[in-house]
Amino acid sequence: MLGYGMTNQSTDFETKLDRLAAIAVRHGVNLQPGQELLINAPVTAVDLVRAVARHAYRAGARNVLPQFADQELSRIQLENGPDASFDYAPAWRFEAVEKAIAGGAALLSIAGANPNLLAGCDPAKIARMQTAQAMAARGLSALVGGFAVNWSIIPFADPAWARAVFPNAAPEAAVSLLWDAIFAATRTDVADPAANWRDHAASLAARTAMLNEKRFSALHFSGPGTDLHVGLLPGHVWIGGAADSRTGIRCLPNIPTEEVFTMPHRDQVSGTVRASKPLSYAGTLIEGIEVRFESGRIVQADARTGTDVFRNLIATDEGASRLGEVALVPDASPISQSGLLFQNTLFDENAASHIAIGRALAVNAPGGRTEGLEGANNSLIHVDWMIGSAEIDVEGIRSDGVAEPVMRQGAFV
């Protein structure tokens, strides 16, 4: 693959990029004629944004408006900004997007963060910036989490991300290798992507239907370094693959997606858990996380690298040290089988069962709303981290206390 010819690559590449754009518009966002489309994208993703815009306008978009960002500016701010700048994020910016959503706009995020962006920066300042950002985006996060409109996230092979995933490859080769992995994971590479996505969404739907029928009161994760009991909220809803917006549009919020997930009870998590993959958060790689829960709360947290960033993260607010999501992903997931460590949540969370600290998601709540819901966690943050692997077993605890095997050595039973 390193010898990939440039001419072949570019023809082939452009076709695949165009297919990824088509999947994003038709299946990811499922853009409706007359809808406005907002795109959050890194400046490096301009070619993919153009391809998406072409498909969106052909699908009848009223308007396509990218909101490009340059991730390097966070480092520039950390290195040059006055102290007061770390506690400020412009709320007017997020309120504008809320207004667009109120007008029916669909959202597409293009994700390709550099996992090492802020390596070496002051963890305390990073935490203040993250908190300010999360505060300013609170209203928007609630709208997105509550599926006020149809939205989706798709990946993009940012050069800095590619270097992190393929540190031994030459820069261009690393980008090419990451694109190959992206096209495979997003099912862009198959003969009929539309049919493939339909089948895949149906199999995730069958899995959620089975789990919703079980009505487990808890899940028990066990394996090396892990003995974790996760109580599930009474009336919890398992979700996977497609989701319906409140405006009645079925979208695929994550591309790729391999997970089924539901809502833990904020007070009923106990035991120890060891992360099975590093967590990339706020431009920092947090490796070797080990955590102990008591009555739903993290009471001890260690990591091999990035400890300060992780401890600041769980100290963001009261809910940041409690769980808002638990998700099951088989080790047979194509992303896991690729053997790659993506250092990007959109991929790694679809390669392994995981938990998320912070805010619970309204889609997992009985009735689709978390407001005033006993046992639903709330926080400014929602951060997934991976705990599953081929060495982990999962049992479902029935209301009569009997344990039923759900996953054995990373595979659904």
Q: Which residues bind a second copy (CB under 8 A)?
A: 33-34, 36, 43, 46, 49-50, 53-54, 57-58, 60-70, 72-73, 76-77, 80-82, 84-85, 88-90, 92-93, 95-96, 99-100, 103
User: 405: which strand partners?
Assistant: 395
CB 193 to a second copy: min, Å: 21
Pick 100 or 357: Cβ nearer a second copy: 100
Among candidate residues 323, 378, 326, the one with its CA nearest the CA of residue 219: 326
Q: Which residues contact 6 (CB under 8 A, 6 or more apart)?
A: none
Backbone angles phi, psi at 104, to 5 degrees: 95, 10
Pick 102 or 209: Cβ nearer a second copy: 102
- Give yes or no for a contact between 309 and 123, defined as CB atoms under 8 angstroms apart: yes
Pick 33 or 372: Cβ nearer a second copy: 33
Pick 157 or 204: Cβ nearer a second copy: 157
In one-letter notation, the amino acid at residue 272 is T
The total of other beta-carbon atoms located within 10 Å of residue 18's CB is: 16
- Give yes or no for a contact between 230 and 291, defined as CB atoms under 8 angstroms apart: no
Pick 1 or 84: Cβ nearer a second copy: 84
First to last CA, the chain: 36
CB 313 to a second copy: min, Å: 22
CB 96 to a second copy: min, Å: 3
- Give yes or no for a contact between 368 and 309, defined as CB atoms under 8 angstroms apart: no
Among candidate residues 22, 53, 44, 25, the one with its CA nearest the CA of residue 152: 25
The first and second tokens of residue 168, run together, are: 């031994």
Strands across the sheet with 323-328, in order?
239-240, 260-262, 323-328, 354-358, 382-386
Pick 58 or 198: Cβ nearer a second copy: 58
CB 183 to a second copy: min, Å: 23
| Three-state DSSP class for residue 154 | strand
Q: How far apart are CA 255 and CA 376, in angstroms?
A: 26
CB 4 to a second copy: min, Å: 25
CB 15 to a second copy: min, Å: 18
Q: How far apart are CA 322 and CA 307, in angstroms?
A: 17
Pick 83 or 213: Cβ nearer a second copy: 83
Pick 69 or 205: Cβ nearer a second copy: 69
CB 228 to a second copy: min, Å: 40
Q: How far apart are CA 107 and CA 198, in angstroms?
A: 21
Q: How far apart are CA 410 and CA 272, in angstroms?
A: 18
Pick 63 or 141: Cβ nearer a second copy: 63
CB 79 to a second copy: min, Å: 8
CB 81 to a second copy: min, Å: 4
Burial class of 277 by CB neighbour count within 10 A (0 to 12, 13 to 18, 19+) = buried
CB 175 to a second copy: min, Å: 17
* Residue whose entry in the numeric block shows the structure tokens 């966002």: 29
Pick 51 or 175: Cβ nearer a second copy: 51
- Give yes or no for a contact between 28 and 154, defined as CB atoms under 8 angstroms apart: yes
